[in-house]
């Protein structure tokens, strides 16, 4: 454990909104695609840092359902980067005993990307270290709608009754089934919004906002977030 974090509680699950790639690139007179590429390098480093700190789950917002609204050129560049990064991530995961999971709706992606996602998940499923969750073509509202459709289908087929539905059962229909809710949410670039991210799961998550752009995020920024997390009193709606 890092000396600066001695006697501090390390959050079990950290979720991150990776914001500011484009602005990082613009500030340097570079195309937005270079910001996304640099952001992928930061993701790799963050996975290794999180594992070293003892974080058990790391979830990052890779590509939202709203990101399809960006220019054709930018979306195309992101898809190419994603293809490259899946191959790279497989090597990083095997080297660091990381299990990879993907959440979101895969149906809109090209078949080779869907196959790549399947391979990445399958070949790392027995790893026992950090669980790295990537949200791709993901939106919190979309996830809840898809879960509700499944519940309606199961109700129609008699597998569940309306009276038996509880929060725990509903959670089991979400993409994050089997994954604990985040303890800490980090958002970079100073923005103060959830951006349709893990809307159900973030109900009692502590939020930390960093002013740095995502490509500049590093271990020191992660430490600051953990220190801030330890200054909070988590009551989950109760009184201590």
Give the residue numbers marked as catalytic.
19, 67
Question: What are the CA-CA distances from residue 52 to residues 1, 22, 118, 163, 166 (Å)?
Answer: 8, 29, 26, 44, 36
**Buried (b) or exposed (e) across 68-83, using 16+ Cβ within 10 A?**
eeeeeeeeebbeeebe
Q: Which of 47, 41, 38 is nearest to 16 (CA)?
A: 47
Centroid of chain to Cα 200? 14
Beta bridge partner(s), residue 195: none
- Rg of the chain on CA atoms, in Å: 18
- The Cα–Cα gap between 193 and 196 comes to 9
């Amino acid at each position: 454990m890092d000396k600066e974090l001695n006697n501090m509680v390390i959050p079990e699950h950290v979720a991150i909104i990776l914001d500011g790639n484009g602005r990082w690139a613009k500030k340097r007179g570079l195309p937005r695609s270079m910001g996304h590429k640099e952001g992928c390098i930061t993701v790799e480093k963050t996975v290794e840092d999180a594992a070293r700190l003892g974080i058990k789950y790391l979830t990052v917002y890779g590509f939202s359902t709203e990101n399809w609204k960006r220019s054709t050129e930018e979306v195309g560049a992101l898809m190419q980067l994603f293809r490259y990064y899946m191959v790279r991530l497989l090597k990083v995961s095997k080297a660091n005993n990381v299990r990879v999971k993907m959440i979101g709706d895969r149906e809109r992606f090209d078949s080779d990307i869907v196959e790549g996602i399947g391979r990445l998940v399958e070949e790392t499923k027995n790893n026992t270290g950090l669980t790295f969750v990537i949200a791709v073509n993901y939106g919190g509202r979309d996830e809840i709608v898809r879960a509700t459709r499944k519940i309606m289908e199961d109700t129609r087929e008699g597998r569940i009754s309306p009276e038996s539905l509880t929060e725990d059962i509903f959670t089991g229909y979400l993409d994050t089934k089997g994954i604990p809710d985040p303890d800490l949410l980090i958002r970079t670039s100073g923005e103060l919004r959830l951006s349709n991210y893990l809307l159900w799961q973030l109900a009692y998550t502590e939020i930390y906002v960093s002013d740095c752009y995502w490509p500049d995020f590093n271990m020191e920024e992660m430490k600051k977030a953990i220190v801030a997390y330890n200054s909070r009193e988590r009551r989950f709606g109760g009184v201590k």
